[in-house]
Amino acid sequence: MKNLILSLSMVLFVTSCEKKSTETKMTATPSDTVTVPETNEPVEPSTLQTCFMANTEKDSIFLTLDDNLGTFTGKLRYKNFEKDSSFGDIVGNQNGDTLKLNYTFQSEGMTSEREIFYLRKDGNLIEGIGDHKTEGKREVYANYRKIKYEGHILKQEDCTVVEQKMKEK
């Protein structure tokens, strides 16, 4: 009986190995062909882009946000009417419903860095307001517990519109 079970196990093992080898058989002769299974599934990009903008009186904010598997990058522009405007890059991540971004920007011919948080709510981004302090060359929130999400409300917008607005002077 042991011999019969052992023989059956060997036959199954050899059969399964033979089946795999026929599926991926490749030889050096040019007459052989390799069959690659076709798929109709679209290839999805690893980066998803969303864009936002806010208009308050004569000031505007434009944000492009690229989500690459949890790492966010993009561009941010504050276009202010009678104050200094700024334009630069953002990079950061999301913790729960909060985007924690570092904004490296140009304003008045100087490069600066500032921490900016946004709360995701109802498809919009609400800017976090709080006191900042300087750590090295970077402005960070002085106390994370005292951030109030009552700043500018950025609404999701078509990215072609936002990118065009970013370029306008």
Distance between CA atoms of residues 115 and 80, nearest Å: 19
The 8-class DSSP code of residue 143 comes to -
What pLDDT is stored for residue 46 in this prediction? 56
Does some domain include residue 70? Answer: yes
Taking only the tens place, the pLDDT of each residue in 147-156 is: 999 999 999 9
What pLDDT is stored for residue 166 in this prediction? 81
* Tally of domains within the chain: 1
**pLDDT tier at 4, thresholds 50, 70, 90:** very low
Taking only the tens place, the pLDDT of each residue in 8-41 is: 455 444 455 444 444 444 444 444 555 544 555 5
Task: Residue 107: give the domain boundaries.
Answer: 47-167
Taking only the tens place, the pLDDT of each residue in 79-130 is: 988 788 899 999 999 999 999 999 999 988 889 999 999 999 999 999 999 9
Find residue 60's DSSP bridge partners: 55, 79
